[in-house]
Amino acid sequence: MTTKLDQARNVLARANRIIANEGVLDAFGHVSMRHPTDPGRYLLSRSRAPELVQPDDILEFTLDSQPVKSTDFRLYGERVIHGGIYQARSDVNAVCHHHAPSILPFCISGMDLKPVYHLGATLGEKVPLWDARDEFGDTTLIVAKPEEGASLARALGENWIVLMRRHGATVAGISLEELTFRTIYTARNAALQIQAHMLGLVSPLNRAETRLAGEYNLRPGPVMRAWEYWNARLDKAEGGGAQVRKRAPRKSGSRRTKKRRR
């Protein structure tokens, strides 16, 4: 019998692979969702490239980002990004952290990321920029400490995406499907903004247009239309490869070697 947790693991694994298939995630980055029946937990893959994530890779974590069950598998070092946001925002049920090439120029330059077309309105009216140096000085740029995750969550505030100086972006959503929609289209918006700057003056959406277009495009109809499309593209891209990915080795080195934590 398929449980809600089984279904959640399956859809979360697909969301990882969809966002990778659409060019936002690569070997790094990760997607999580709040536990379907326990809001005090969330689901996240073991440390693995998102394109390879399968349902049995998905583990349960407390909001303090500790695994519910002891495991020898390597875990994402930056899982505190997810736990920090779930603790701070009860309305958030899915989170993605990524380093999309279209987003990174904004993280490096500090230029404001603005909605420049209707689907980009899912950015919201404000995109804050968080700089780890402000509170923590020189770091590895990996958000691995609970206090760093909490700081990032504060910077996100009531917004839906936060840029991370010299690092990447973290995106939040009310549902996993909405998160996928926002993650993909905000990365495309960033690419369009850069291209438009090359041509001349950029005319972004104003506040009212951002609110109206954002609400319109985040209705269930558009979100599920895109979700169905991306699932079909994923199935076509994977072909018979899904089973090969599922059989990929889950441990490096000898079977007796425990995973180092990253």
- Residues with catalytic annotation? 78
Residue in the structure block whose two tokens are 């909001």? 63
State the amino acid at position 252 in one-letter form.
Answer: S
- Cα separation of 218 and 226, whole Å? 11
Q: Please list the alpha-helical segments (H only) found in the chain.
A: 4-21, 80-88, 104-109, 133-136, 146-156, 176-199, 207-217, 220-238, 241-246
∠ CA 109-114-116, rounded to 5°: 125
Output the CA torsion sign for 160, 58, 188, 233: negative
